[in-house]
Structure 1
Amino acid sequence: MMHHYDEPAYLISIVAKILDIHPQTLRQYERENLITPSRSDGRIRLYSQRDIDRIKMILRLTRELGVNLAGVDVALRLKEQMEEMEKEIAELRHALSVARNTGSVPPEKSLVTKRSHYEMVIFTDD
């Protein structure tokens, strides 16, 4: 049975078995706000494939690179910021491409600056 990448489908015991870690480790990651699994109506933790991939990254950082959980938090936040910036850059590139092809820029993407600079010259009768 295939699940959507973000669909919460796996119980904590299954995720622990898949990743060969103790369920308490997953609870600790949740306490540290490194992961946020969904909850069923009965408050049972349910993990998506996205959650599992994030946990794999946490394990790679801690096991292979020796990063502590505070460092993992920083690394994950930086990764998220980079992904947001990459998305914004892609959107801007697309807008630029459209502008080049149509010869105009949509009003919401245009930036117009107006500067007023006046010089006063006073003439005197000498």
Structure 2
Amino acid sequence: MVTPHRLDERAPVFVISVAAELSGMHPQTLRQYDRMGLVSPQRTAGRGRRYSSRDIATLREVQRLSQEEGINLAGIKRILELQEEVRALAAQLDDVREALESLNPAQRRVFTAGRDGEISALRRGERPRRPAGGALVLWRPNRRP
């Protein structure tokens, strides 16, 4: 029985000519984007570029943002950086959620932060102590007066 192979989307398998054809760009454009840091393909021992499926998808997104949205390359680079940051934060949040779910309810804690940045743990159902004369701020999103 032959098992189907899944291609790792980060595996550097495409040479620059193939990556250029798959992304619909000229190889020189890919070199320029590499120099600018928009896409960073891996390098072989001989310094040749090797692009992954994820790199190809990024190149297509760069082209779409540039041509359809009219965003300049500096703006595109910032968008890509922010998207990567969001992906990393989402992965971190998933890890935290998974860690919390692995705890039994008695081990879970609620935390609060004071104005001075002091963080304290609370028991479930316990309210944070407010200093005398302190103000309470109630935030209601999407409500208008």
TM range (shorter): 0.7 to 0.9
Map Cα deviations across residues 11-67 of structure 1 (whole Å, 9 max, x no partner): 111111112211111011011111111111222111111111111111111111111
Q: Distance in 1 between matches of 2:102 and 2:38?
A: 39
Q: Note the residue ranges of structure 1 that are not aligned, 5 or more in a row.
A: 114-126
Picking from 78, 83, 92, the partner of 1:79 is 83
Structure with greater proportional helix content = 1
Q: Distance in 2 between matches of 1:28 and 1:88?
A: 32
Contact 1:8 1:46 in 2 (8 A): yes
Give the alignment of 1:20-99 within 5 angstroms. Answer: 20-99=24-103
Percentage of pairs with the same residue: 36
Q: Note the residue ranges of structure 2 that are not aligned, 5 or more in a row.
A: 110-118, 122-145
Picking from 73, 86, 106, the partner of 1:103 is 106
Partner letter of residue 12 of structure 1?
I
Q: Which has the higher contact order (CA 8 A, sep 6+)?
A: 1
Partner letter of residue 29 of structure 2?
T
Partner letter of residue 92 of structure 2?
E
TM-score (norm 2): 0.66
Q: Secondary structure at the match of 2:8?
A: coil
Contact 1:15 1:52 in 2 (8 A): yes
Q: Number of matched residues?
A: 108
Q: 1:2 to 1:64 in 2, by over 3 A?
A: same
Q: Distance in 1 between matches of 2:7 and 2:102?
A: 36
* Cα displacement (A) at 1:105: 4.5
